[in-house]
Each structure stands twice: as C-alpha cells, then as structure tokens.
Amino acid sequence: MSTVLEVEKVSKAFGGVVANREVSLSVPEGAIIGLIGPNGSGKTTLFNSIVGYHPIDAGSIRFRGEELSRLRTPQIARRGLLRTFQQTRIFGKMNCIENMQISVPHADDSLGTMFSRFDESVTGRAEQLLKFVGLYPKRYLRAGDLSFGQQKLLEFAMALMNKPKLLLLDEPTAGINPTLINGLIDRLKRANAEFGITLFVIEHNMRVIMNLAEHIYCLAHGELLAEGDPDQVQNDQRVIGAYLGAG
C-alpha cells in the first residue's frame, strides 16, 4: 500500500502554547486511520495544519508526494484532501440538495463553468448520497432547520459528494445518538470500501474508533504518544495514563 499522506515532524505553536511538537505520522492509501488523545492534545490543530487552515512552524506535510504546507485551504481541497469540522458546518439557509450540489469537486472549475447550471447527473448523485445517509425525504428543507445529528450526516454526505481521495473527519459521531452511531460507522466503512476513500478520523468514542480504525495514533500534550493497532493502543499504559490524567 502506498502512502497517501505523510506528516513529518510538524510543529505548530500559538504564542507560547505549543499545540503540536514534531508530530510525524503517515496514512496509507485505502486505510482507515484513527487519531485519539485527551482534550487539548492538538488533534484538531494537526488537522487544521494538514488542510492549510493555518501555516505550520516547521516540518513537512506531503499529500500523494506533493508538499502541502505552502498551499491554501481551497487549493488543497481541490487536490482531493477534504476535512469535516468538529463544530458541524453546513450552509444553513440553503436546502440539502443545494448543499450537495455546491459540494461537487471544484478542480475543473473555470470562468466558463461559473454560470452553468448543474446537470442532471450531479443532482442524481446528490440524491443518491442523501439516500445513503438517510436524508433524502428532507432534501428540500433548509439545512439549518435539520437537527444537529442530521447536519452531521449532511456534512458527511457533502464530503462524499466532493469525491475526495483522503477525508479527514473531526469527531464524526460527537452529538449523535447511540443508535445512529452504528449506522454511521457502517456508512464510514462503506464509503471506505465502496468509494475507495481513505479516512483519517479523530474520535473520542473509544468503542467507535476501536471498531473502525485499523491503525491508531495517540496524541498527548501536542506530541505523538503511541501508535499501533487498536488492541495495542488500548492496552498501552501511556495511553491509559494520558486519558486518566496520570501522564
């Protein structure tokens, strides 16, 4: 398996607070990789660094062999590296179909396509993906009127609409009720298997991440603490210590 994302000794500080210190990790193509760590351990900061939301202080981030650290967020997104947000972000005053339509890949946009309408195939795919996450009956409702859990599902469907090669998910199950979580895990696995999307997932719910990921990285205090398959990480004393506050 080739490596799709290579993070090498990335550091990022906000003033005196070091959020990431020389973090290195890699995501192989087609895998589902987990990222865990206590609150404030720098997981979201690392995601933000990867997608170009802010510049990094040191290190290198390569996506399919290309250096990302000097590119801006939209440029990175157009290369097929997408993220969803911890605080769910959808376009609240647009309906679900419109949310999906505008999420198409934008790599081939030009001045000529700017005023074109979306063709049937785009709308068809949007409806299919809305069915995939169970929002099809509500497709004409404004996204802002959906419940929080539904908005999360919509954001996930929007990400799939964008046909990314690598999708970074920031706590996909936070705020979703336990029965829906099972459905979501199933959807994530199917997105990975059927659409061939590599997933890199931040998750606090241990049951979810152990069930989902084949390889897990653990951050604490901005540094990489441990890595391994779910069993190894679960039984790692340093990880247990970090979560219980002993570390």
Partner 1 sequence: MNGAGKTAWYLLLAVAALTLPTVPFLQPYLTQFAFLWVMILLALTWDIMGGQMGYNSFGNIVYFGVGMYTTAVVQRDLFFSVEEYAEVAGGVDAALNPLEFISSLALGMGLGAVLSVLIAAILGSGILGLRGHYFAICTLGLGIAAGEIASGMDYIGAGSGLVTSLLPDAFGERGRFFYYLFLVLAVITFLVLRRVYDSRFGLAINAIRDDEDKAEALGLHTTRYKTTAWCISAFFLALTGGAFGNMVIFIDPTDVAFAGPTFGVWMVLMAILGGKGTLWGPVIGATIFHVMQEVFWTFLFGWQRVALGLLIVIVVVFFPEGVVGWLRERWPHRFGEVVDEDARRLQVSLDSEP
For residue 142, the cross-strand partners are 95
Which amino acid is it at 66? E
Q: Does 95 bind partner 1 (CB under 8 A)?
A: yes
Beta carbon nearer to partner 1, 2 or 177: 177
Residue 152 in contact with partner 1, rule: CB under 8 A: no
Which C-beta is closer to partner 1: that of 9 or that of 131?
131
Residue from the set 18, 102, 206, 210 that interacts with partner 1 by CB under 8 A: 102
Provide the minimum distance between the beta carbon of 201 and partner 1 in the complex, in angstroms, as a whole number: 17
Q: Give, in degrees to the nearest 5, the angle at Cα 152 between 150 and 155.
A: 110
CA–CA distance, 172 with 169 (Å, rounded to integer)? 6
Q: Does 94 bind partner 1 (CB under 8 A)?
A: yes
* Site size with partner 1, rule: CB under 8 A: 52
Q: Least Å distance between CB 221 and partner 1?
A: 27
Q: How far apart are CA 217 and CA 25, in angstroms?
A: 8
Q: Which residues contact 111 (CB under 8 A, 6 or more apart)?
A: none
Instruction: Answer yes or no whether residue 163 interacts with partner 1 by CB under 8 A.
Output: no
Q: Which residues pair with 166 in a beta bridge?
A: 81, 198
CB-CB contact of 195 with 160 (8 Å): yes
Select 64 or 138, whichever has its Cβ closest to partner 1: 138
| 176 phi/psi in degrees, rounded to 5 | -100, 140
Return the percent helix, strand and coil in the chain, to nearest 5: 35, 25, 35
Stretch that binds partner 1, among 31-39, 58-66, 127-135, 197-205 (CB under 8 A): 127-135
Q: How far is the CB of 21 from partner 1 (least distance, A)?
A: 25
And the tokens for 160? 């799939």
What Cα–Cα distance (Å) separates residue 23 from each residue in 4, 11, 46, 220, 233? Answer: 17, 7, 8, 11, 17
Least distance in Å: CB of 242 to partner 1? 29
Which residue in 64, 125, 138, 204 binds partner 1 (CB under 8 A)?
A: 138
Nearer to partner 1, 184 or 212 (CB): 184
Stretch that binds partner 1, among 56-64, 84-92, 192-200, 222-230 (CB under 8 A): 84-92
Q: Which residue has the tokens 């990790």?
A: 25
Query: What is the smallest separation between the CB atom of 194 and partner 1, expressed in angstroms?
Result: 15
Other beta carbons less than 10 A from residue 229's beta carbon: 12
State the residues that interact with partner 1 by CB under 8 A.
51, 72-75, 77-78, 82-83, 85, 89-95, 98, 101-103, 105-107, 109, 111, 113-118, 131, 133-134, 136-142, 145, 153, 158, 162, 179-180, 182-184, 186
